[in-house]
Amino acid sequence: MSAMSAAHTFKGQCLCGAVKFSITAPTLWCAHCHCSLCRRAHGAGFVTWVGSAEERFALDDPEGQLCWYGSSEDSRRGFCSRCGSTLFFQSERWPGEMHVARSNIQGEIDRDPQAHVYCQSQAEWITIGDELPHKQ
């Protein structure tokens, strides 16, 4: 995927299309998160996130459908209030970053997933079938 131009812009949206966004390359990282909060918020075995610098992220939400839920003291999760798609994550632990759900970005981006994180919380019914490094 690294053949993509550094000037490329990646577009994405929620399920209903009310909340759209774009990210201007380069992204910062991409990782599979196995933490229990991500699993619950997304109804998924794990969540693949892409990190973007906030200034490279642009929101297009003309109807104001994006809602933020404070999922912990220092973190919040953004979702579409019409269709419920869970899209974004921000935390004081990663200042200046917008974390975007990989599944909501259309097509290829400038990097593949690089690691599994929070593996100590991994669901018992998930089997990791790749050789990517595991990080706390």
Q: How far is the CB of 2 from Zn ion (least distance, A)?
A: 25
Beta carbon nearer to Zn ion, 16 or 59: 16
Specify whether the CB–CB gap between 49 and 100 falls below 8 A: yes
Beta carbon nearer to Zn ion, 23 or 80: 80
Q: How far is the CB of 7 from Zn ion (least distance, A)?
A: 28
Neighbours of 130 (CB within 10 A): 7
Beta carbon nearer to Zn ion, 14 or 23: 14
Pairing state of beta strands 134-135 and 115-117?
parallel
Neighbours of 68 (CB within 10 A): 11
Q: How far is the CB of 88 from Zn ion (least distance, A)?
A: 12
Pairing state of beta strands 57-60 and 20-24?
antiparallel
Q: In the numeric block, which tokens belong to residue 36? A: 């229990």
* Sheet order of strands, 9-13 included: 9-13, 20-24, 57-60
Beta carbon nearer to Zn ion, 16 or 128: 16
Q: How far is the CB of 102 from Zn ion (least distance, A)?
A: 13
Q: How far is the CB of 132 from Zn ion (least distance, A)?
A: 16
* Residues near Zn ion, by CB under 5 A: 14, 16, 18, 33, 35, 38, 80, 82-83
Beta carbon nearer to Zn ion, 25 or 121: 121
Distance from C-alpha of 61 to C-alpha of 129, rounded to nearest angstrom = 37
